[in-house]
């Protein structure tokens, strides 16, 4: 079973002050114990996570992300068609709706028949994905 990992899950696992920190550690551990689970994410999520973590937690935390968490996930690269679909979805949704990164994640999940996300972002639920 593939589980898509969102920025919110990566960040929560790295930041002890994040409201979802304890849940993130528990969720990561439970999923890692399941031999059928394979983590995946996108290059857009990587960029978003690096920017957020560097801004809020610093370079050492970015290094932890890149060295410890990211290697657990297969990276699915956003191609031109997925970017086009995500951009159109983002623009159709309007202000205060899912970001371009979220819309690209949803497109990737649909294209790869992934219905579960490790995420603490309500937009995944609103799009019909299980958390």
Please state the domain extents for the chain: 2-77+115-124
The structure's pTM equals 0.95
Q: What is the DSSP letter of 112?
A: T
- Token digits of residue 18: 């994040």
42 forms bridges with which residues in the sheet? Answer: 76
User: For 2-77+115-124, which CATH superfamily applies?
Assistant: 5'-nuclease (3.40.50.1010)
Q: Is residue 4 classed as helix, strand or coil in its secondary structure? A: strand
The string of pLDDT tens digits covering residues 4-28 is 999 999 999 999 999 999 999 999 9
* CA–CA distance, 68 with 78 (Å, rounded to integer): 22
Q: Indicate whether 64 pLDDT > 90.
A: yes
């Amino acid at each position: 079973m593939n589980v898509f990992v969102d920025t919110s899950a990566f960040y929560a696992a790295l930041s002890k002050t994040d409201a979802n920190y304890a849940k993130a550690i528990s969720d990561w551990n439970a999923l890692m114990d399941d031999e059928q689970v394979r983590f995946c994410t996108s290059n857009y999520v990587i960029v978003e996570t690096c920017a957020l973590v560097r801004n809020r937690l610093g370079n050492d935390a970015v290094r932890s992300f890149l060295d410890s968490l990211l290697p657990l996930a297969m990276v699915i690269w956003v191609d031109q068609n997925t970017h086009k679909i995500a951009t159109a979805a983002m623009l159709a949704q309007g202000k205060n709706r899912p970001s371009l990164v979220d819309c690209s994640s949803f497109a990737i999940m649909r294209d790869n028949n992934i219905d579960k996300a490790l995420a603490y972002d309500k937009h995944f639920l609103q799009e019909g994905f299980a958390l």
